[in-house]
Amino acid sequence: MAAELRKPSALHRRLWAFLTSRQVAVVLLLAALAILLLSLGLPQVPRDLPAAGLAAWWTAARERYGDTLDLYQRLGLTNLFGSPAFVAILAALLLNTLLCTVDRLGRLWREARRQPTLRLPDEAYADADWQAEGVTPAQARRALRRFGARLHELAGRPHYFYSERWRLAPLGTVLTHLALFLLALAALLHSQLAWSDQQRVEAQDPGMILEIETVYDPGAGPFVAGGILLTAGCSLSLLFPSRRLWARLEDEGDLRVCLGVEESAVPEEIGRLEHRLRQPLGGAP
């Protein structure tokens, strides 16, 4: 009985992992990109032309492509963005992006609001990223405080420090996911519901005719919002990467620092720490 109860849970986890998979998102994005590139070389029926303009377009297209246009039309290649395949890709991308956002939102929010871990296991400091000798608590505090906006301390022997910079940066991932969701939604709404209509109205003045064009595109709003969120998410993730620092100061002045940053950023951060530590206590900040 226990095994039978575990099977649905395992199946649920596998299904959820598939629906929230980044690999699936990449495949869907590549498929949408392939359709986009294919449309660049094939005649696509415009959606914003009235009946007369649409007839003129078909006439011009037949003069250019000849009998090949009939083959394109039979294969459904003249309306790729309205094809069932493209709609299915957009719908799947919407579902994947939404579930990815839900899956990561709770974890990232907890990560942003977590209580800092001031003390790492002693084994972590054995392979510290940086070590300095003869450091006083005041020097360590001044140098490490400038690493981030706030310095947490755990007094004792040894003395532990923790500092973090841009802790909300991981939320840029959520903003990027929401942006992709809105962009995919905008494309789906535009391909399925957008329309335009032109009407000719006789004015009161003799011989004057007004042409009024009515346009409806429900994807315009999500597209603008998605663009804004994408800019904000990418800026937060790329320009303000999260930085963490753990340090342990022994009684004899042995300062060991572990950096929670990307490997490419470690030399830069170490250089900053060394520069700050060399400054006199009464020097400029």
Q: How much of the chain exceeds pLDDT 70, in percent?
A: 88
pLDDT band at 281 (very low <50, low <70, confident <90, very high): low
Report how far residue 216's alpha carbon sits from residue 278's, in angstroms, rounded to the nearest whole number. Answer: 64
16's tokens? 């959820």
Res 30: pLDDT = 92
Domain boundaries defined on the chain? 9-111+170-198, 128-167+241-278
Full-model pTM: 0.63
Give the contacts of 62 (CB within 8 A, at least 6 positions apart). 69
Predicted local distance difference test score (pLDDT) of residue 205: 66
DSSP-assigned beta bridge partners for residue 213: 198
Cα Rg of the chain, angstroms: 30
Q: pLDDT at residue 224 above 90?
A: yes
pLDDT recorded at residue 202: 67
Amino acid at position 218, single letter: P
What is the per-residue pLDDT across 124-171, written as a single tens digit (0 to 9) for each? 888 888 888 888 888 888 888 777 767 888 888 899 998 888 777 777
pLDDT computed for residue 271 by the predictor: 84
Residue pLDDT, tens place only, 75-128: 888 888 888 888 899 899 889 888 888 887 777 777 667 677 788 888 888 888
pLDDT of 285 reads: 42
**What does the pLDDT look like over 173-210, one tens digit per residue?**
888 888 988 988 888 888 788 877 777 666 666 667 77
Per-residue pLDDT band for 284 (boundaries 50, 70, 90) equals very low
Secondary structure (3-state) at 246: strand
Mean pLDDT of 245-274: 84
Confidence check: pLDDT of 5 > 50: no
Reported as a single tens digit per residue, the pLDDT across 44-72 is 888 766 777 788 888 888 888 888 888 88
Query: Which residues share a beta bridge with 258?
Result: 246
> Which of the four pLDDT bands, split at 50, 70 and 90, describes residue 227?
very high
Please check the confidence at residue 240 and state whether its pLDDT lies above 50.
yes
The pLDDT assigned to 1 comes to 40
The mean predicted confidence, pLDDT, of the chain is 81
Compute the 3-state secondary structure of the chain and give helix, strand, coil in percent, each to the nearest 5: 60, 15, 25
Which of 44, 47, 46, 54 minimizes the C-alpha distance to 80? 44
Calculate what percentage of the chain has a pLDDT beyond 90: 7
Residue 2 is predicted with a pLDDT of 44
Provide the pLDDT for residue 101: 82
